[in-house]
Structure 1
C-alpha cells in the first residue's frame, strides 16, 4: 500500500483523507513542562505530527484545519522533510482547491491556519475560493486582544483571517455549540486556546470527531492531567480533555487528531480506571 493510500480512511459510510505538514520538533520535557516527574521525560527532539483532514460528507468536500504554510515553517521548530506540499497532496488524492466547499478551523494557531490563504501578486487571498470558512468568535477576539497581539495574533489576523472577511467567505461562530451544516456540529472545548473547537460529523451509527489540539500525544490520553506548553489555560484544557475523553469513550466516537502519530485516527476506550488509544487502520479495523 502506497503512503498516500495509507492516508485514506473509510468509516461508517464516510471517506476521509489525512493531509500532513512538516512535524513540529520539541523535546517532551518542553512539550509538557509542568510534569511532576520532569526528569523522566527525554530532552531529545520529539516529533509532533501536524495533520489536517479532508472529509467527503454528503455532497460536500470539507477541510478541517489548514496546516503550516511556508511562512509558518519559518516561525515554528519544524522538520523539513521531502513530503509533498499541502496542495500537491490534494492533487494526489484527486482533489483540487476549488473542490473544497467548507474550511472548518478548530482554532487559529500557526499550524492550523497556514494554507487558509495564499500570497499572490503582493496580497493575501483565500486559498479555497469557493469555500465558506468557519472559525470561533472567541478565537478572533483573542487574536486582536492586547495579549493575543503580543503573541503574534495580529499578524495571523492580517494574513489568515482578514482576507477571508474582505472576500465575504467567513462565518465567525459565536455559539459554543452550533450545527453549522446538516450533521456537522461545531463545539467549543476551550483551554488550549480561548475558543478551541472540535468538529463532529454525524454518521450512520455514531460520529467522527476532529478534536484539534485536545491532546498532542497519546501520553495525554493515559494521563489527561498533562497539559502542553502550547495551552493558554491549563485548567480549562484539563477540563476539556477529561470531558472529551469521557464522551468519546462512552459514545464510541472515531477520533481524528491534529497531532497524534500515524494513523492519527482511532478510538478512546475505558481502561483500568482511565483511557487508552486504539488506532484505526485505513481498512477500518482497529489496531490493538
Structure 2
C-alpha cells in the first residue's frame, strides 16, 4: 500500500494484521461501543464491531534518501509479554526487499518510540549476537525516549526489548539521539507527542505544499479519535496521552493532511462535535 505527499512516497510494509482480539490494548472498545461509530466500518472495523489493526513499518522515499519509520516485532526475539510475539520467524525482510527496499538501501531508521512493536527489526540475530539489521542506516531515537528506557527498564520484558533491539544499535555506534521537535530532513520534522511513552514523537511531512502526519501510537485505532479518553493499556501517562490526542488532532483536523497511524491505514481527520472522526482513504 502506497501514498504520496508531494515528492515523498510512503510505502506500508505489514508484519502482522489482526481482526478483533484487541481488548487487551483498548479495553473500552467493546463491540457495542464500536457499532455506535458506523464510520469505522469497513475500513477500520468489521460489521460485527471487531477492530482491524496491524503492526507495520512505513518507508518514506524522499528526493535524498529512504527513511524506515518503526520496525515492528522482529524475528527470534524472546521475553515478550504476548506469547505469539516470541520466537517469530516471518518473511518481513523479504517483503521489504520485494517492495523495492532491500536492507542495504535504507539510509535512516526512525523509531517514533521504543516499545516492543516498534523496534524489533532494529536488530537481527547473527552468529548468536544481535546486530543492526540495516547495515548502511543511521538509527534515530528521541533523546528523552531513549534515556527513559535506558534508565528505567525495570521489568523482564522492558529489559529484554532494550537489550536485544536498542542497546546493540547504540553499542555499534549507529544511534543518533534527537530532540523531540528535531528537523530530520528538508521534508520531515518531528512533533513531540508524549503520553503513550515519555518521549513519543509523531512525524510531520511537508512537500510541494502537501502535508502528511504519521501519528505513531498517539492513537492505536481511529476509535480513539471519537473517544479521546479511551486510553491504551500501554500508555505511560493516560491523562497526558488524552491531552496529546486532543492537541494533535485539533491541529490537523479539517485540513487536507493525510494521516497514517502506527497501527491503522491512511485517512483524513474531521471535527465531530467535541471530538473527531476519521475518513479512510487517501491519494495513492
TM-score, structure 1 length as denominator?
Answer: 0.83
**Who is 2:252 aligned against?**
248
Matched, 1:66 2:71: yes
State the Cα distance separating 1:141 from its structure 2 match: 2.1
SS at match of 1:31: coil
**Who is 1:15 aligned against?**
9
Whether the 8 Å contact between 2:110 and 2:139 is mirrored in structure 1 is yes
**Residues 244-285 of structure 1: CA deviation (Å, up to 9, x unaligned):** 11111154321111112xxx011111234431112224x53x
| CA RMSD, 1 decimal | 2.8
Whether the 8 Å contact between 1:140 and 1:157 is mirrored in structure 2 is no
CA distance in 2 between counterparts of 1:38 and 1:109 reads 25
**Residues 124-180 of structure 1: CA deviation (Å, up to 9, x unaligned):** 11111111111112222222334x32262222222112221222211112x231112
**Structure 2 spans left out of the alignment, 5+ residues:** 35-48
**Structure 1 spans left out of the alignment, 5+ residues:** 1-6
Matches within 5 A, 1:92-103: 92-103=98-109
- Kindly report structure 1 stretches of 4+ aligned residues shifted beyond 6 Å: none
**Who is 2:54 aligned against?**
49
Indicate how the Cα distance of structure 1 residues 14 and 144 shifts in structure 2: closer, same or farther if over 3 A, else same.
closer
Whether the 8 Å contact between 2:189 and 2:204 is mirrored in structure 1 is yes
Indicate how the Cα distance of structure 1 residues 166 and 251 shifts in structure 2: closer, same or farther if over 3 A, else same.
same
The alignment covers a number of residue pairs equal to 268
Correspondence for 1:184 among 170, 181, 188: 188
SS at match of 1:245: helix
**Who is 1:270 aligned against?**
271
TM-score, structure 2 length as denominator?
Answer: 0.84
State the Cα distance separating 1:45 from its structure 2 match: 7.5
CA distance in 1 between counterparts of 2:159 and 2:83 reads 21
CA distance in 2 between counterparts of 1:151 and 1:142 reads 16
**Residues 11-40 of structure 1: CA deviation (Å, up to 9, x unaligned):** 33321100111236764543333x4x9794
CA distance in 2 between counterparts of 1:237 and 1:196 reads 10
CA distance in 2 between counterparts of 1:13 and 1:199 reads 16
Indicate how the Cα distance of structure 1 residues 54 and 182 shifts in structure 2: closer, same or farther if over 3 A, else same.
same
SS at match of 2:259: strand
Matched, 1:116 2:110: no
SS at match of 2:220: coil
Whether the 8 Å contact between 1:268 and 1:275 is mirrored in structure 2 is yes
Correspondence for 1:198 among 178, 198, 202: 202
CA distance in 1 between counterparts of 2:31 and 2:263 reads 24
Indicate how the Cα distance of structure 1 residues 47 and 71 shifts in structure 2: closer, same or farther if over 3 A, else same.
farther
CA distance in 2 between counterparts of 1:55 and 1:167 reads 24
**Residues 165-197 of structure 1: CA deviation (Å, up to 9, x unaligned):** 222211112x23111222221222011111111
Matches within 5 A, 1:273-288: 273-281=274-282, 283-284=283-284
Indicate how the Cα distance of structure 1 residues 73 and 201 shifts in structure 2: closer, same or farther if over 3 A, else same.
farther
